[in-house]
Amino acid sequence: MRAQGFPPIARADARILILGSLPGQESLRRREYYAQPRNAFWRVMGALAGFAPELSYAARKAALLQGGVALWDVCRSAVRAGSLDASIVAGSVVANDFAGFYAHHGAIALVCFNGRTAAALYRRHVSRTLSEQLRALPCCELPSTSPAHAVLSLETKLEHWRVALQPVASRAGRR
């Protein structure tokens, strides 16, 4: 079945772009990024940005925006059975319009990938379509917050994310 992604959550002054691969089944059903209750994304971002992960979806999105964080997925659409990234059919991927996104979000200083698959999809389907300047944006592959990536504890994932996002988040706070 072909899954359709969501529009980005972003303000024009966002400094950090966090990219997943494609929303899972629960996210698609609820029309919310990272809606799977066992996905650690909102717990990680809540700890880093100082909000309770139990807040409403609208409040969590607002906290990301206030913190200079944009959220999107690499895939605009793809064929996938279930929710696992490993089930994305490689030849079915249609990437989002990143050149257009970056044109309207010129303050992006760091691109973070929520897991290995998002990073690989970006390299395969997006990087080669971007200008040299956009290809030079710093990128960071972070441990997936997915419950399928259980090899690392929540605390370890949180520390990886904190180290990666802290320098850019700190600069954003001094504006």
- Residues 16-44 have pLDDT tens digits of 999 999 999 999 999 999 999 999 999 99
pTM: 0.93
Domain containing residue 129: CATH number: 3.40.470.10
pLDDT at 171 over 90: no
Of 134, 146, 136, 131, nearest to 73 by C-alpha is 146
Does 96 qualify as catalytic in the annotation? no
pLDDT at 141 over 60: yes
Identify the pLDDT of residue 86. 74
For residue 74, what are the domain limits? Answer: 2-173
String of DSSP letters for 82-113 = SS-GGGB-GGG-EE--HHHHHHH-TT--EEEE
Cβ–Cβ < 8 Å for 33, 95: no
pLDDT at 173 over 60: no
The predicted model gives 136-153 an average pLDDT of: 90
Number of domains the chain contains? 1
Identify the pLDDT of residue 174. 41
- Annotated catalytic residue within 21, 27, 39, 117: 39
Q: Per residue in 52-95, pLDDT tens?
A: 999 999 999 999 999 999 999 999 999 998 777 777 888 999 99
Cβ atoms within 10 Å, residue 66: 13
- Written as one letter, the residue type at 67 is G
d(CA 155, CA 161): 10
Identify the pLDDT of residue 140. 96
Is the model more confident about 38 or about 172?
38
Cβ–Cβ < 8 Å for 142, 113: yes
Identify the pLDDT of residue 172. 46
The predicted model gives 115-141 an average pLDDT of: 96
For 57, residues 6+ apart whose C-beta sits below 8 A from its C-beta are 32
pLDDT at 96 over 90: yes
Edge-to-edge strand order for the sheet containing 139-142?
Answer: 69-73, 16-20, 110-114, 139-142
Q: What are phi and psi of 167, to 5 degrees?
A: -60, -40
Q: Per residue in 149-163, pLDDT tens?
A: 778 999 999 999 999
Burial class (CB in 10 A: 0-12, 13-18, 19+), 50: exposed
